[in-house]
Amino acid sequence: MERDEFVRFVIPVVIVLIAILAVVILGNLVSSNPDGFEWALFEFAHVSEPTGGFEGIWAFLGEGPLVEVVAGALGVIIALMLGLLLFRAMARKER
């Protein structure tokens, strides 16, 4: 394996691992309490919290802290992969 091929493989893997690590570490900082804007809407404007039929694309995983970390990691990986595919598609058009 040449050096360029190695770098092309290692850099995306390292970026994904850093992103997953960040999701795992920052996942514990998520609050279930509404932020100030939501609180003001609920208390002063008497807006009720919306209830809709859409539970999210990761609803099949259930609930819990581990599920939140897994869903966050999956979301980061999917976003990075879509970005990589878009980057490669744009790079091919320039050739």
Q: Which is higher by pLDDT, 83 or 8?
A: 83
Q: How many whole angstroms separate alpha carbon 70 and alpha carbon 65?
A: 9
Long-range contacts of 15-20 (CB under 8 A, 24+ apart): 15/80, 16/76, 16/77, 16/80, 19/73, 19/76, 19/77, 19/80, 20/73, 20/76, 20/77
Model pTM above 0.75 = no
| Portion of the chain with pLDDT greater than 70, in percent | 88
Q: What mean pLDDT is predicted for residues 6-25? A: 81
Q: What mean pLDDT is predicted for residues 3-26? A: 80
pLDDT at res. 84: 87
Compute φ and ψ for 56, nearest 5 degrees: 115, 160
For the residues of 2-32, what is the DSSP string, one character each?
Answer: -HHHHHHHHHHHHHHHHHHHHHHHHGGG--S
pLDDT at res. 17: 84
